[in-house]
Amino acid sequence: MMRNEKCRAKRSRAVRTAAAALLLAMLVSGCSETAEQTSGGEEEVTIPMILIVDSSTGIKNEEELITEFNRIYDGKWQADVQWIMETEEEYRQNLKRQNVTDTLPAVITDLRMLPAFYYMMIQDGRIEELTEYINEDEEWKAMIEPAVLESCSEEDGSIYLGPISTAAFSCSGMFWNEELFAQAGIEKFPETWEEFWECCEQLSACGITPLALHTEGTAWAPMLIATAEAASTEEGAAFMNEFYPDTYQNESGLRIAQTLQKLFRYTTDDALYTDFDVSYDNFFSGQAAMIPNGYWMMDQIPEEWQDKVRFSPFPENKMVSSPETFGWAIVSGYSDEVKEGAAALLKLRTQLNMEQREELFSKDPEGMIPAERDYIAAYRDGPQLVPNYQVKWNSILQEETLGEILPDLALGKMTPEEFTAKEDESIAQFLEEQ
C-alpha cells in the first residue's frame, strides 16, 4: 500500500515536472500570437474634389464650405479637396481632360460656363440627374430659390446642376472708383447709356482711363457691358435669351460688336491679349476707373480700396445674372455612397448661400463696405436681369473666336460687320465639330 502511494507520488511529480517543462518550452517557442485588432464601424467615405486657389489673393475657393462639411459629416463623409493654383479657364479646360481620361472628381464646378461640354456630359451620362435627390429632401428643396431652380433646369425639367446659389449673389454690374470719378467731377454713376459714354469721355478728358478691360478668357469684362447695353432694346433682350444663337449678323449682334469696339477706346493699353487678372490689377492700382464684375468680387477688394470702390448696376438699371453659372454637378461613375455625400455637399452649399443672403440682407448697412451697400440697394431696386452670354453661346466663340477677333475689332482692323461674320463662322465650326 505504502509502495503504491509512493509510486503514485513519483508519477505525480514526474507529470508535474513534465508539465512545467512543456509550459517552459511553449513559452520559449512563443506560442502567444499578437492578436490583430480590428475596429468596427463603417468606413468614412471620401468625396474627391478639385478646387482652385485664387492666384491674386491666395484665397482657397469654398474653403469655408469644405471645412464646415468635414466638420458636420466627420466619420461619414470627408471632402478630399485638391487645391490647385490655376485660373478658372485652366480649371475648365482640365475638366475636359479629366473627363476623357475618366479621372473627374466626384463634384465639379463651373460646368455651365462650358455649354457644349455641359450638354455632352449630359448626353454621355457623365453627370448625375439631381431631381430625385432634391425631391426627396424637402429641407433642401425649401432652401432653393425658384429662379435658381428654373435656371438650373433643362427644358424637359431634368436638373443636372446643383441649384446652390442665390440670385442675390449672381448679379454682375459695374465697380467704380469714386475717387477717380470725383477727380473728373462726376458725382454719381451714369444712369443711361448716353451718360455712360459721356462719363467715359469726361474721365478720358481728365487723363483717367475709364475702363479696365481684356480680350482673353471669353472677354468677360467687355462682354458684360456690351451684352447689357444690347439688352436695352426689346430685340436685344430677346437675343440675349437665345440659346446657341443661329447668327450674330443681325441688329443685336452688330450692336454688341459696335459697343465692344467703342469700349476699347476707353481702356488701358495692356487690355489686348490679356485676361481678367490684368484688368483687376489695373482697377485696383488706380489705373482705370471702372471694372465690370459680379458680387463675388466683394471679397477680393483690397482693404485699402474698400472705401473708394462703389458698385452700380449697368446703365438703365441692368444687371447680368445667370445663377446656373456656378455649374456644380455630381459626376456619375462613383459609388452611391460617394454620390450621396456629394449631394449633401451641394445641399450644404445651398444652405450656406441662403444663410449668407439672409445675414447680408439683415445686416446694418452702416457696417458694410460701400460697394456691398450699393449692391444690396441695387438688387432690391429690381434691376432688369440680362442672361449671362457664357451660358448661352457656343464654346468655340467664347473660348477661341472672341480672343482672336476682339483685338482686331478694338484696333479697328476689323469692322463690326466682319466681327459678326467671324462670330457666325464659329457657329459653323461648332456645328461641324459637333
Partner 1 sequence: MKKSKKRSGIQKRYLKYTAALLGLALLLSSFGVMLSVRNRLTNSIVDKYEFLTERTGLTLENMFQQTDEATAECIFYDDVQESLQTQGLEDVKHIALSKYFAYIDLDYVADYCYVDNKGNVYSRSYSDVTYQDVEESGFRRYLGDEYSRTKWFWAKDTLFGTDDYALFIGRYVRSLEYAHEPGMLFFKMEDGFLREITGMNQELTDEAAVGVIDRSGQICMSSSPEDFEEGERMPDDIAERITDRQETQASGMILAGEKVKGGILSAYLDGNSGMTVFSFVPDRLLNEGLIPIFLVLAGIYLLVAVLAVILSIYFSRRFTKPIQVIKEAMTEFDGNNFDRTIDLHTNTELDEIGHSYNKMLDNIRRLLDEIKDQERELRRTELNMLISQINPHVLYNTLDTIYMLARINKEETTMRMIQALSKYLRLSLNKGSDIVSVDDELENVKSYMEIQQIRNQSLFTYEIDCQVDAAQTYVLKLILQPLVENAVKYGFQDIFEGGVIRIVVKKDEGVLYLSVANNGTSIEQSMMDKINHMNELTVSELKECFPDKKHGYGVVNILTRLRLKYGDGAAFYCEAEADGTTCTIKIPGDGGLKDDEK
Report the largest interatomic distance among the alpha carbons of the chain, rounded to a whole angstrom: 135
Least distance from partner 1 to the Cβ atom of residue 274, Å: 25
Q: Which is nearer to partner 1, 99 or 170 (CB)?
A: 99
Least distance from partner 1 to the Cβ atom of residue 394, Å: 10
Rule CB under 8 A: say whether 205 interacts with partner 1.
no
Least distance from partner 1 to the Cβ atom of residue 135, Å: 27
Least distance from partner 1 to the Cβ atom of residue 16, Å: 12
Contacting residue, 57, 158, 241, 434, with partner 1 by CB under 8 A: 434
CA-wise closest residue to 288 among 347, 218, 225, 346? 225
| Site mask for partner 1 (CB under 8 A), range 71-100, x = bound | -------------------------xx-xx
Least distance from partner 1 to the Cβ atom of residue 347, Å: 26
Of 112-120, 177-185, 205-213, 335-343, the segment contacting partner 1 by CB under 8 A is 112-120
Q: Which is nearer to partner 1, 96 or 357 (CB)?
A: 96
CA-wise closest residue to 127 among 98, 148, 90? 98
Look up cell 483687376; give the residue: 280
Residues 136 to 155: which contact partner 1 by CB under 8 A?
none
Contact 81, 50 (CB under 8 A): yes
Contacting residue, 9, 15, 27, 411, with partner 1 by CB under 8 A: 27
Residues 379 to 418: which contact partner 1 by CB under 8 A?
395
Q: Which is nearer to partner 1, 411 or 431 (CB)?
A: 431
- The C-alpha atoms of residue 121 and residue 126 are separated, in whole angstroms, by 5
Least distance from partner 1 to the Cβ atom of residue 97, Å: 6
| Site mask for partner 1 (CB under 8 A), range 7-26, x = bound | ----------xx--xx-xxx
CA-to-CA separations, 93 to 197, 249, 304, 326, 434, in angstroms, rounded: 36, 29, 34, 16, 17
Task: Give the three cell numbers for residue 366.
Answer: 452702416
CA-wise closest residue to 330 among 85, 122, 141, 117? 122
- The C-alpha atoms of residue 204 and residue 289 are separated, in whole angstroms, by 10
Least distance from partner 1 to the Cβ atom of residue 30, Å: 5
Number of residues that bind partner 1 (CB under 8 A): 29
Beta-carbon-side half-sphere exposure of residue 17 (alpha carbons within 13 Å): 6
Q: Which is nearer to partner 1, 122 or 149 (CB)?
A: 122
Rule CB under 8 A: say whether 432 interacts with partner 1.
yes
Rule CB under 8 A: say whether 328 interacts with partner 1.
no
What value, to the nearest 5°, has the Cα angle with vertex 173 and ends 261 and 415? 10
Rule CB under 8 A: say whether 362 interacts with partner 1.
no
- The C-alpha atoms of residue 353 and residue 361 are separated, in whole angstroms, by 12
The amino acid occupying position 294 is G
Rule CB under 8 A: say whether 244 interacts with partner 1.
no
Rule CB under 8 A: say whether 352 interacts with partner 1.
no
Residue 404 has what DSSP assignment? H
Contacting residue, 4, 29, 32, 38, with partner 1 by CB under 8 A: 29
CA-wise closest residue to 188 among 304, 361, 313, 285? 313
| Pairing status of strand 290-294 against strand 318-321 | unpaired
Contacting residue, 124, 154, 198, 381, with partner 1 by CB under 8 A: 124
Q: Which is nearer to partner 1, 24 or 377 (CB)?
A: 24
Contacting residue, 101, 139, 362, 366, with partner 1 by CB under 8 A: 101
3-state secondary structure 4-53: HHHHHHHHHHHHHHHHHHHHHHHHHCCCCCCCCCCCCCCCCEEEEEEEEE
Contacting residue, 1, 2, 28, 142, with partner 1 by CB under 8 A: 28
Q: What is the enclosing helix (H) or strand (E) of 72?
A: helix 63-72
Rule CB under 8 A: say whether 193 interacts with partner 1.
no
Q: Which is nearer to partner 1, 37 or 101 (CB)?
A: 101
Rule CB under 8 A: say whether 119 interacts with partner 1.
yes
The full DSSP string for 226-280 is HHHHHTTSHHHHHHHT-SS-S-S-SHHHHHHHHHHHHHGGGB-GGGTT--HHHHH
Least distance from partner 1 to the Cβ atom of residue 243, Å: 16
Question: Is 336 buried (19+), middle (13-18) or exposed (0-12) by CB count in 10 A?
Answer: exposed
Task: Give the three cell numbers for residue 135.
Answer: 425631391
| Site mask for partner 1 (CB under 8 A), range 284-323, x = bound | ----------------------------------------
Task: Give the three cell numbers for residue 204.
Answer: 478720358
Q: Interface with partner 1 by CB under 8 A: which residues?
A: 17-18, 21-22, 24-30, 96-97, 99-102, 116-117, 119-120, 123-124, 126, 333, 395, 432-434
